A and B are shown apart, each in its own frame.
Chain A
Amino acid sequence: MIKAVRRVPLLVPLILVMVILAVSTDTFLSTGNLENVLVAAAILAIPGVAMTFCLAMGEFDLSVGSTVSLAGVVCCTALIDGHPLPVAFVMALGAGAVIGLVNGLVITKLGVTPFIATLATLVIVRGASLAYTGGHDQIVNSAGLKYLVGGRPLGVPMPIVLAVVAAGLAWWTLNRTRFGRWVCAIGSNRDAAAMSGLPVDRIRIAVYVLVGLAGGVWGLLISSQLQKGNGQLGLGFELDAITVVVLGGTALLGGRASVIGTVLGAVMIETIRNGLNLLNTPPAYQRISVGLLLIAALALLALRRDDRGTQPNRTLAKVQETPA
């Protein structure tokens, strides 16, 4: 038990919050409400799981929010143009993958820092999806698209199925495959990884493509919920995705990853949002609480780091090395 808490420090506060909500509201524990929370968490966990790879590598992808918008827009316009559903899905996921590929190439081949490169694609892709739609909503009414969020294979809501599959695959990849170990190796020391002969550039590109694809899936889910796509979807989503991963305990500086933590992070955020809604608090408190949560989680991690001793010496890590 103690080991589990050490691994995933989020477990304790999550249980605490759930108990508080169960006591203070009579609706939180209803099946319908719990399902809402889990569906929302599942939708957030899917990009979170992909972002876990990115942070495990010690890098960020800020462009995910714009990818959500573009993927939604591409899918909806394709449907409006009369393309069949699978074609629309492939086009949307393809758009996400292309954005990821561009990110990866700009970062590895042109040597632009990930933070800035993906900041630039964030702006560019948002512009592209606004330009693509001329700023209008692309409204669709497609039973197939609706199935992505509303469907219930074997009685389980579709997003939960997707999230479980995604998390399972990600866990297996990170913990049981060469690729996963490579990602963490790059995260703990990129130069050492390169000198050991790892195809560092190719791995990094692959991770960005993965995040782009996940952004595409996210976009499909969101436009499935809303039955529309437009240039305003997904504003600020990139911070949600990163917050989830950081809450889950994946080291911000790379080298360590926790897929289970990410999933719990998503559950935590959505539980709090849901709880604050049930308690009728103004939306402002939701922002404040997410911010405080983020800080608290990292402060806890920092305390835990103290008894571990040293830190890998990397650009972002510089600032929090413990004195020798």
Chain B
Amino acid sequence: MTADTITAKPAAAGGTRFSLGRQWDTWGVTGILLILLACTPFIAPGFLAVDNAQSVLRESAYVGIVALGMTFAIASGAFDLSVGGQLALTSVVSLMAFGAGGTGAAIAAAVATGIACGLVNAALITGLRVPPFVATLGTLFVFRGVAYLLTQDGPKILPYDQIGSPFARMGSLNVVGLPLPFVIMVAVFGAGWVLLRRTATGRRTLAYGSSPSAARFCGISDTRTRVFVFGLVGLTVGIAALTYITRVWTADGSAQDGFELKVIAAVVLGGTSLKGGKATLIGTFSAVFLVSVLNEVLVSRGVESAYQRIVLGCVLIVALTIDGLRTRFAAPGSFRRSLTRLVPTR
């Protein structure tokens, strides 16, 4: 193979030639979501009623916001299993701060706690060189444990006389018919897209995910990438916690058990590769809603919650199977693909 064929192929795959596979990577889940939505009037009448649609958007927002951060983490080649613990701890701290200092304190506390949790993870991973999977598995126990400690004498509850306050209504507020949490989620995804596709930091994250050692040789810092990614996850958890507590008004150590798996499932379903180096924000966005719409449809069809789990699990396997088979059938091109993956643009 000569030098110019090597350079020519990444250019061809860089966007000039139409490739069904690549389009599927980015838009597949969105397509399925749209088809599902188009079918809902027939299979679940009343689903698209304004109240119901609003509640789906509101309920999905906090999963979606954290899924944005998790997309960055997975694209950089790492999981963050501690987001459930982070969410519980952040919610508890934020409610405590609200009791002490009002709205501003609550918001500041949520964001600060979230970022602090992320930095703890980053410190363990870069400082003590613990693999992310185990470090965040450990901090999942730790963060949740601390949240339990703080709520030993009962869950933190928003004071009753504050239920009418702007902070308490934030989670249920609508902006031009759209729930505020959903608007926040859209804004977070917008910012995330700019960060990923239009800044050097975003490209470094993807490059690091493709090949940490290659990235290192290009002068990309391990520590800075880790701190950025896990700090970002913490930040999104902080924002998500705000939309969560302003809707449910209470939190304790057991808040949102199993949250991490929900978030990771959405990111993976969306098409972000677990191998790192590849991210699709629109995929994550749609996957969050695909799961919640599917759930809602099953509920409205009167399917028992036990069977809902079975259906959701099967959806996950089918989606990942399509992905797995596609990669397998594309095997002859896999060498080319491995070359093009070195170029962090799509």
Contact = CB atoms under 8 A, between A and B. Distances in A.
Contacts of A321: 212-213
A292 B124 CA distance: 11
Interface stretch (B156-164, B172-180, B242-250, B309-317): B309-317
Given A111-B328, A242-B137, A318-B213, A285 B145 contact: yes
Contacts of B140: 291
Interface stretch (A20-28, A121-129, A216-224): A121-129
B20 interface: no
A122 B316 CA distance: 11
B40 interface: no
A319 B132 contact: yes
Nearest to B316: A120
Contacts of A284: 145-146, 148-149, 152, 253
A251 to B, nearest CB: 10
Contacts of A243: 137
Given A111-B328, A288-B141, A288-B142, A319 B304 contact: no
A165 interface: no
Interface in B132-150: 132-135, 137-142, 144-146, 148-149
B138 A131 contact: no
Nearest to A291: B141
Majority secondary structure of chain B interface residues (helix, strand, loop or mixed): helix
B145 A291 contact: yes
B307 interface: yes
A278 to B, nearest CB: 19
Interface string A97-139: 0000000001000111101110111111011101100010000
Interface stretch (A204-212, A259-267, A295-303): A295-303
A226 interface: no
A285 B308 CA distance: 34
Interface in A1-54: none
Contact of B148 (A128, A246, A282, A318): A282
B306 A135 contact: yes
A21 B81 CA distance: 31
A123 B313 contact: yes
B148 A291 contact: no
A288 B261 CA distance: 20
Interface in B291-338: 304-310, 312-314, 316-317, 320-321, 323-325, 327-328
A316 interface: yes
B216 interface: yes
A231 interface: yes
A294 B137 contact: yes
A277 interface: no
Given A116-B316, A131-B306, A292-B138, A299 B148 contact: no
A247 to B, nearest CB: 10
A315 interface: yes
A94 to B, nearest CB: 19
A324 interface: yes
A106 B324 CA distance: 10
Nearest to A283: B148
A91 interface: no
A186 to B, nearest CB: 18
A117 B132 CA distance: 20
Which of A128, A302, A315, A318 has the most chain B CB atoms inside 10 A of its CB? A318
A318 B212 contact: yes
A287 B141 CA distance: 5
B148 A112 contact: no
A323 interface: yes
Given A124-B313, A315-B77, A298 B264 contact: no
Interface in A231-258: 231, 239, 242-243, 246, 252-253
A290 interface: yes
Contact of A112 (B139, B152, B304, B324): B324
B287 interface: no
Contacts of A289: 145
B310 A131 contact: yes
B168 interface: no
28 contacts: A106-B321, A111-B324, A113-B320, A116-B320, A123-B312, A124-B310, A124-B314, A127-B306, A127-B308, A127-B313, A131-B306, A252-B133, A283-B148, A284-B146, A287-B141, A287-B142, A288-B145, A291-B138, A291-B142, A292-B142, A295-B128, A298-B128, A298-B131, A298-B134, A299-B128, A306-B129, A319-B212, A320-B129
Given A112-B320, A119-B265, A128-B310, 4 more contacts: A111-B321, A252-B134, A290-B141, A319-B132
Interface of B: 77-78, 124-125, 128-135, 137-142, 144-146, 148-149, 152, 211-213, 216, 253, 261, 264-265, 268, 274-276, 304-310, 312-314, 316-317, 320-321, 323-325, 327-328
What 3 A-B pairs have minimum CB-CB distances, sorted nearest first? A111-B324, A291-B141, A127-B309
